[in-house]
Each structure stands twice: as structure tokens, then as C-alpha cells.
Structure 1
Amino acid sequence: MKAIILAAGRGSRLKEMTEKAPKCQVALGGIPMIERQIATFRQSGITDITLVTGYRGEMLRYDGVKNAINGEWETTNMVVTLFSAAQDFGDDLIVSYGDIVFEKRVLDALIAAPGEISVIVDRQWRPYWEARFEDPLSDAESLRLDEADCIVDIGQQVAAIDDIQGQYIGLMRFRGPGVETLRNVGNSLGKTQREWMNNRPLKQAYMTDLLMEMILCDHAVDAVPVDGGWLEIDTQNDYALAESLFSSRRSFPWFSPEGVAIP
């Protein structure tokens, strides 16, 4: 099993915090979140790790971690960043955003999932969103499941918060035929250059666009449900909230710093 961490972007919403270092090197409790994530992977037995860099990528060098580069990081998004490491996909692959931290239990749930394409879904997302946003609906996206807990809709704007069955966190797995689906869907859209969901071309496509394209092509995308256990650092408010948790070692029903590995 391999891991690819997508860490090419600058994180402009963090403003001066990323002027001299990549977004994923923002420290929580004195430890850069990328180092916490690498440690969590290793604690769960995953040591084949590739870090896809872009902005200030020369600062992201870690012993035992491979590097790939998205040379177009300023004008592209997550899907292009992922395919910059296509040579490292293998046949069992976990993909993670570089601006999240997660408890080991969240990663272990994904490792235990039997599906060919599996995506972590936070069922208890709402308390965390209420702590992050004055209006939780302003940043929430659609995620709907069928009776078999397969995702049927993801990454779209929503009109009512009660319509959301969970939140995507940026952590997923492709195994066996699922890796081939990943390659085939990405490559076919790259060749046609047609627009994806939300009228985004390939270069601006999000991972949720890629997953939605797989769903529309009748590939099963399994939800792996968890209850909290993760944080995203996308804004200065996100950072302030996360830093308060790590510095004080406080735990909430939706997150415990003690569950995150320490390098």
C-alpha cells in the first residue's frame, strides 16, 4: 500500500503564514502538519509515501519520502497535482490532501475498507463546521449516499444543510481495479479537455469532480463513515481553532489531538 500526499498549493487564504513556507508546513502544537501526517501513515504501517509539491517545494524534503512535482501548481488544481505522481500509483493507493490532519483511527478505517474506490466521509461534520463558520452552509458541499452506502452525489452546492449526509475530508483509497479506473477516467478527460462537473476544465478540477465523474460512469465509490477525527487548515480561523486544540491538548467529541501521531 502506498500513500500520495497532495501538497502543491500555497494556501493564499492563510495570507502571511505561507509567504515563506508551503501551506502543509504550518505548525500545530509546534509540529508541521505534514510531519504529523507522515507520522500517522507510518504508525499505520504505510511507509511508501510520495509528496507532490509545487509552491516552495524545495522545503519539503523528508527522509524516506519520495517527491513528485506539479510544475504548473500556480494554474492547476488537485487532479493535476495527483497525476503528477502517476508513476507512483501502484495497485493500492491512498490519496490525502496535504492541508489536513487526522487521527490514526480515521486512516485505519480506510485501510480496512474492502472497496475498490473508498472515500472517508465524516458523519458528525456539523459541530466542526459550526466551530469553523458563522454560517456552516456557506462552505458545506453535497454528499449523498444510496442504500448500500455508495456515494451518489459529491462536491456540489447545497440549499439546505439537512440535505447533507456527511462531509468529504480529502482522504481516499484506490485499490486493484480502482486504480485503473482512476487512471482511465483522468486520462480520458485529459485527452478530450472537455469540462467536468461545475464547468471546470481538467486543469482546474477538484478531486470531488474526479470522483463525481467516476460515479457518472457507473463506478461504485464507497463511503467509509467516521465520526469526526480530522481537521482542515484552509483559513486563519481554521488555524486558530486547530492550534488552540493542539496547544491545550483539549479534546472535543469531533476531534482529539491525542489521536494524531507525533514524529
Structure 2
Amino acid sequence: MKIIVIAAGSGKRLGESTKNVPKYLIKVNKKTIMEHQLDVFKKIPYENFIVITGPHKEKFTLNNITYVEDKNYPQHDILGSLMEARNYISGEVLIVYSDIIFDDNILSKIVESKSDIGIAVDMSWEKGYEGRTEHPRSEAENVSVNGDDILKIKKNITDENNIGEFLGILKLSAKGSKIFVKKFLELEGTHVGRFHDAPSLQKAYLTDMIQELIDSGIKVNPIMISGKWCEIDTRQDLERASRLFI
């Protein structure tokens, strides 16, 4: 298994914390987000840990990591940055956001999934938005679930039942990796204009690509998780993470 972390974002909403350091390297208590994630990933066998970097790439100094620089990060959002590492999307792959911390139970559930394309989903997500005024519920990356299928994924789904939140972890089998890359290459060669909720393919989120797969008739499964996790997007989030992950 390979692990790919998309860490090219600047984390502007965290203010001074990310002025001269990548978001992935801000500290939650005494460890960076990267170190928190690595501590969890040590519990599973993996062959390569890949980090996609953007601004302040020189701050990444840990060894035994494959660093892929997104030299065009100002023109990209999450999907564009991820596909700078397209050569590593083969075999079994975990694609992970760089602003989340999660516990061992969540990772175990994801790794056990037999889906070709599966995304981690929390159905008890709304409690995580209590008091979260700087990053309200309307900014959640929601998913509409029907049994073993994801029907829709986008921010702020309010008009459907069985709504969960996408954690920011995508698991691909070897077959799933081929499907994902093939679909992106098709789009890269032909698509112009808006791409789902994004202004363009290169400025798209990972959720836009997942929705494209669904709309193309490709099955995307929910991996239902329960456990301790948090997203760190604002100062409020950082304070909450510091309470949850001592």
C-alpha cells in the first residue's frame, strides 16, 4: 500500500500559525499534524509515504518520505495537486488530506475495506460542528448514502436523508487506482470550463472528482467509520484538536 498526503495548501485561515510553515507541519500540542498521522500509519504496513508539497517545501525535513513538489500550486486546488503525484497512484493507495487527525480505529476500518473505490464517511458528523463558528456546518463535505453506494458528494447537502461527512480519506484498490487515473486523463485531455462545483478541472476538489466517477456510473462505496477525528482548518479547530489529541 502507498499513502499519498495532499499537503500543498497554505492554510491561510489559521493565520500566523501557517505564515511561514505548511499547514501539515503546524503543531497540535507537541506534535505536528504530519507526526500525528505518521504515528497512526505506523500501525499498518505500507511501502511508500508520499507527501505533495507546495509553499515552504523546504520545511519538510523528515527522512524516508517521498516528497513531490506541486510547482503549480497557485493554479491548483486539491485535485490538481494530487495529480502531480499521478505516477504513484497505482496498486493499493490511500489518499489523505493533510489537515485531519484520526485514531487507530478509523484507520483500521478503512484499511479493511474491500472496495475498489471507497471513501471514509462519518454519519455522526454534526456533533463535530457544535460551536464551530469559523468553519460552520455549511462548509462540510457531505455525502448522500444509499446502502452501499455514495449517490452525491459536495458541500452542504441539506435536501436528502442519510447524510454523512467525508473525512478526507479515499481508498483505492489496484483496480480502483487504474479507474481513477484513467478517468482523470480522459478529462485532462477533453474537459473545458466548470467541473462540478469548481471553476475548472485544475481548481477542483477531490470531491468533484469523486462525483464525476459516480456520474460516470462508477461505484463509490462508503466506508463507515466511528472514532476520534478532527479537521484543522481554523484557530477554533486547532484548539479543539489540542483537546482531543493530547
Aligned residues: 245
2:175 matched residue in structure 1: 177
Contact 2:118 2:170 (C-alpha < 8 Å) held by counterparts: yes
Contact 1:79 1:203 (C-alpha < 8 Å) held by counterparts: yes
Instruction: Mark the runs of 5 or more structure 2 residues left unpaired by the alignment.
Output: none
Q: What displacement does 1:177 show?
A: 1.5
SS of corresponding position for 1:6: strand
1:253 matched residue in structure 2: none
* Of 184-193 and 207-216, the range deviating more from structure 2: 184-193
Cα distance per residue 1:65-112 (max 9 Å; x no partner): 111011111221111111111111221100000111111111111110
Instruction: Report matched runs for 1:105-144 at 5 Å.
Output: 105-133=105-133, 136-144=136-144
TM-score of the superposed pair, with normalisation by structure 2: 0.93
**AA partner of residue 151 (structure 2):** V
Q: What displacement does 1:58 show?
A: 1.2
TM-score of the superposed pair, with normalisation by structure 1: 0.88
Contact 1:75 1:203 (C-alpha < 8 Å) held by counterparts: yes
Q: What displacement does 1:48 show?
A: 1.4
Matched, 1:210 2:209: yes
SS of corresponding position for 2:119: strand
Contact 1:119 1:173 (C-alpha < 8 Å) held by counterparts: yes
Q: What displacement does 1:229 show?
A: 2.0
**AA partner of residue 187 (structure 2):** L
1:55 matched residue in structure 2: 55
- Over the aligned positions, Cα root-mean-square deviation in angstroms equals 1.8
Match of residue 186, structure 1, among 174, 184, 191: 184
2:224 matched residue in structure 1: 225
Instruction: Mark the runs of 5 or more structure 1 residues left unpaired by the alignment.
Output: 250-263
- Aligned partners of 1:44, 1:131: CA distance in 2, in Å? 34
Q: What displacement does 1:155 show?
A: 1.0
Contact 1:41 1:47 (C-alpha < 8 Å) held by counterparts: no
Contact 1:9 1:74 (C-alpha < 8 Å) held by counterparts: no
**AA partner of residue 109 (structure 1):** K
- For residues 36 and 47 of structure 1, do their structure 2 counterparts lie closer, same or farther at Cα, with a shift above 3 Å needed? farther
Instruction: Report matched runs for 1:1-263 at 5 Å.
Output: 1-133=1-133, 136-147=136-147, 149-159=148-158, 163=161, 165-194=163-192, 195-246=194-245, 249=246
Contact 1:101 1:232 (C-alpha < 8 Å) held by counterparts: yes
Q: What displacement does 1:244 show?
A: 2.8
- Aligned partners of 1:156, 1:17: CA distance in 2, in Å? 26
